[in-house]
Structure 1
Amino acid sequence: MIRFLSRKDLKQLLTMEEAIAAVEGAFREYGEGRCHVPVRLPVEVPELDGTLLLMPAFLGGSEILGTKLVSVYPRNPEKTLPSVIALYVLNDAQTGQPVAIMDGTYITNLRTGATSAVASKYMARKSSTVLGIFGAGAQAEFQLWALKTVFPLRKVLVYNRTPVKAEAFAREMEAKYEISVEPASRPEAVVRDSHILVTATTSTTPVFQGRDVTPGTHINAIGAFTPQMQEVDEAVVQEAKIVVDTYQGALAEAGDLLIPIQRGVISKEDIYAELSELVLGKKVGRTGDLEITLFKSVGFAIEDAATAKLAYDKALQQGVGTVIGDL
């Protein structure tokens, strides 16, 4: 029987703490060599400024099998639609039979926030209290939620190229999460005052100047996901200790790194580690309070698979969702 889980169902079922634990466990399993995950397949829709991505994954240790179908259309907000829309199909790993279909957009948003929290746990200063966010779209809230779960945040600064969106985000998040959230009028105001920075945009050019980054800052660059997109500049990647979700994905898709590599500013050997190496303790994420660290993520299918399986297991336990029968 196939169970359908809506966004409302997923919100009822999943907590950020559980998602962080599930994602961290998935990276541990990946680091142990027990996952089979191809680089995602992109289908470009250049006439309409869109991309369709296919993201399958198999986690052998926990027997999780599934696929995400996700579209990225940066101009969707002009039509009052999210820029990222996704569907997730979870299969029985023993038989291949589909067992669940769920809102992949919520899964994507939750696991992206959770992944940033996992990386930041190993790479940011434990005493970090100020979060700076570039972008005021759907992902910005999940980044705030996830990082507030792990760090003693007391203030959030947000910058958006459309100031009214940053102002609306600040009002809503301040009320919802009971934390000070301030819109910033200039990028440098966010960069200079933040302990942790998140770039969650679809920009093809850097959203701040690397020279403004202060010693000890940790950066989660999570918005750019193609070789042509770049949210952080060359000054950042030259200075920072760089960790990626996977070497394979970063060297295929991460414009934040590929563009400086192509220009000879850095080499692929300057990438310090994959996140799984930090999770397994093979490498140390932060070695001093003045170190600048950068987590570059393009998204990894194990994150979706682990979060979807968590939702499905809880749905079975609690009787949540709609059973729609067999194929």
Structure 2
Amino acid sequence: MPPHPLFCSADEVETLLGTDEAIASQRRAFTALAHGTVDLPPKIMHPSRFDDSVMFCYVSRLSEDTGAVAKFGGVHPANRAHGLPSVNAVVVVLDPVTGVVVAVLDGTTVTTLRTAAASAVAVDALALPEADELGLIGSGTQALAHARAIARIRPLRAVRVWSPTERHRVRAAERIAVELGVRADAVGSAREAVNGVPMVATCTLSREPVVRGPWLSPGATVVGVGSFEPDRHEVDAHALRRAATVVVDDPRTAAGHAGPVVAALDGGDLGPGDLVPLGEVLTGQRAARSSERDIVLYFSVGLGLQDAAAAWAVVDAARASAERPAVAR
């Protein structure tokens, strides 16, 4: 009989998948994608006819020695008003040889950790080495995760936080200051959060641009994770026109899902060949910058491969923990 599957709650996933391990898993995922050694079928993103929610399903396989991973879930923008995450999901991990289920994981936590970790990988590859201040658009779970992850790859000096609700941005800034030990200010506008800042992360579900091109300073790097549907636009068209390079998690996926990218392709501001895969930057196949004054944008709509890498990191950590001998008391 095969062993019983591993079942991991949100807390257990967070314990097993630390920020550094999550970042390492995402670096592995994008590097493998650049080398063309993965299985990555198109994902399903289906807006519901009944409300403003979105159903999604991702399936992928990272390598021969890691089995297929599937994630099923939904995006419910109204959840924020109820104190709940906007994204909820479950992740199922299969054995690479038999296909037997080896793990069922809380997909909400996997998604939060791997998304922020991938942005940290992107910032590490794209931002100027001396960048030490972060402008954070959003104040929810994903925004806080981004601050934590980016702080692991850049010695942050300060963070500016903006979101539409004052009490939310104030609370987020207070948490960041305590957790990271840096100055964190809740500011009164998105422009104030972005202007003069070398690193910007947009973590919203906005359908209207919240970051405008004229606000960006020379040399800025912007990572956006909320434009995962064609009608969601965290960044305006002017920002894309100012950008020296537009980096994406996967060109094919971004061309069909990332709102600002879809609009720029339709409007002729970008061609398919202008989209630079993050993995090719990591492996040295493509360069994102030719000057310290270049503005670089990174758009992530999320790939099943990211879930696969993070999920197997959780499984490996759980197995290692189980094999560790108990300490005598």
Q: TM-score range by the shorter chain?
A: over 0.9
> Counterparts of 1:74-93 in structure 2 under 5 Å?
74-93=77-96
Unaligned runs of 5+ in 1: 321-327
Query: Unmatched 5+ residue regions in structure 2?
Result: 324-329
Separation in 2 of the partners of 1:106 and 1:12? 11
AA of the residue aligned to 2:130: S
Scaled by the length of structure 2, the TM-score of the pair is 0.94
**CA distance in 2: counterparts of 1:82 and 1:169, whole angstroms:** 15
Displacement after TM superposition at 1:22 (Å): 1.2
- Residue 239 in 1 paired to residue 242 in 2? yes
Q: Is the 8 A contact 1:29 1:61 kept in 2?
A: no
More strand by percentage: 1
Amino acid at match of 2:211: F
Q: Count residues with an aligned counterpart.
A: 319
Identity percentage of aligned residues: 30
Q: Is the 8 A contact 1:124 1:286 kept in 2?
A: no
**1:72–1:84: 8 Å Cα contact kept in structure 2?**
yes
The one-letter code of the counterpart of 1:251 is A
Alpha-carbon distance in structure 1 between the residues aligned to 2:219 and 2:74 = 35
Q: Could you tell me how far 1:285 is from its partner in structure 2?
A: 2.5
* Equivalent of 1:276 in 276, 279, 283: 279
Q: CA RMSD in A?
A: 1.3
Match of 1:31 in 2: 34
Structure 1 residue 264 corresponds to structure 2 residue 292:
no
Aligned mate of 1:142, from 135, 139, 145: 145
Matching residue of 2:295: 292
| 2:41 counterpart letter in structure 1 | P
SS at structure 2 position matched to 1:193? coil
In the alignment, what sits opposite 1:254? Answer: 258
Hey, what does 1:4 align to over in structure 2? 7
How far 1:188 sits from its partner (Å)?
Answer: 1.3
Task: Give me the whole-angstrom Cα distance separating, in 1, the residues matched to 2:219 and 2:149.
Answer: 20
2:318 partner amino acid: A
Q: Which of 17, 29, 36 is residue 14 of structure 1 equivalent to?
A: 17
Distance 2:274 2:289 in 1: 16
Cα distance in 1 for partners of 2:174, 2:49 equals: 36
Paired residue type of 2:165: T
The residue type paired with residue 263 of structure 2 is I
Per-residue CA deviation, residues 241-285 of structure 1 (Å, 9 max, x unaligned), is 1011001110110111111222333333332x1011112110122
| 2:222 is the counterpart of 1:219 | yes
